[in-house]
């Protein structure tokens, strides 16, 4: 596996870790919280992240079409998030050729997804249920670990 592909897999695992933390344990009312009349609800943001991850896999498979899903339930979208990460990581772990470069996959859908995970974390704080900050440098993030079960935080801030 080349260095760019290995880095992309680590980035996908980082997205799983951070996204899992931002979505885990959210109150049911959080899904439809709207910070202002023009902001997306958390469930719409999470659905968009799922769309981005589906797009990343299609790019990797030489089909760069983008589609938009209709949000389901919060739990369903969390499951979709991790399933899309698992599907993408599984493809990246093979020797199959990438339809787009690892750098382009990162700069497009993956970087966008990371931005949106930050939005979910910010919306959690605005909703009154903030997640704890963390030194992500110290987090145990490993390529291939992209499911909902992540290692507990190593260094959260009080």
Q: Report pLDDT digits (tens) over 117-156.
A: 999 999 999 999 999 999 999 999 999 999 999 998 888 8
Of 93, 4, 106, which is closest to residue 52 (Cα–Cα)? 106
Spatial separation of the C-alpha atoms in residues 107 and 95, rounded to whole Å? 21
The pLDDT score that the predictor gives to residue 154 is 83
**pLDDT tens digits, 86-101:** 999 999 999 999 999 9
Mean pLDDT throughout 43-62?
98
Q: Where are the alpha helices (DSSP H) in 74-154?
A: 74-92, 102-105, 111-127
- For CA atoms 53, 59, 61, 63, give the dihedral sign: positive
3-138 CATH pick, 1.10.10.10, 2.30.30.180, 1.20.120.450, 3.40.190.10: 1.20.120.450
């Amino acid at each position: 596996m080349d260095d760019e592909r290995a880095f992309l897999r680590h980035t996908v695992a980082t997205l799983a870790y951070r996204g899992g933390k931002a979505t885990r344990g959210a109150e049911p009312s959080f899904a439809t919280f709207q910070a202002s009349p023009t902001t997306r609800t958390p469930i719409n943001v999470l659905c968009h992240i799922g769309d981005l991850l589906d797009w990343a896999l299609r790019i990797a498979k030489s089909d760069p079409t983008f589609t938009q899903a209709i949000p389901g339930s919060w739990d369903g979208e969390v499951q979709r998030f991790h399933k899309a990460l698992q599907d993408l990581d599984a493809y990246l772990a093979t020797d199959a050729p990438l339809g787009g470069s690892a750098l382009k996959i990162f700069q497009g859908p993956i970087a966008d997804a990371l931005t949106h995970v930050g939005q979910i974390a910010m919306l959690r704080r605005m909703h009154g249920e903030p997640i704890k900050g963390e030194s992500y440098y110290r987090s145990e993030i490993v390529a291939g670990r992209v499911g909902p079960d992540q290692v507990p935080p190593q260094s959260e801030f009080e």
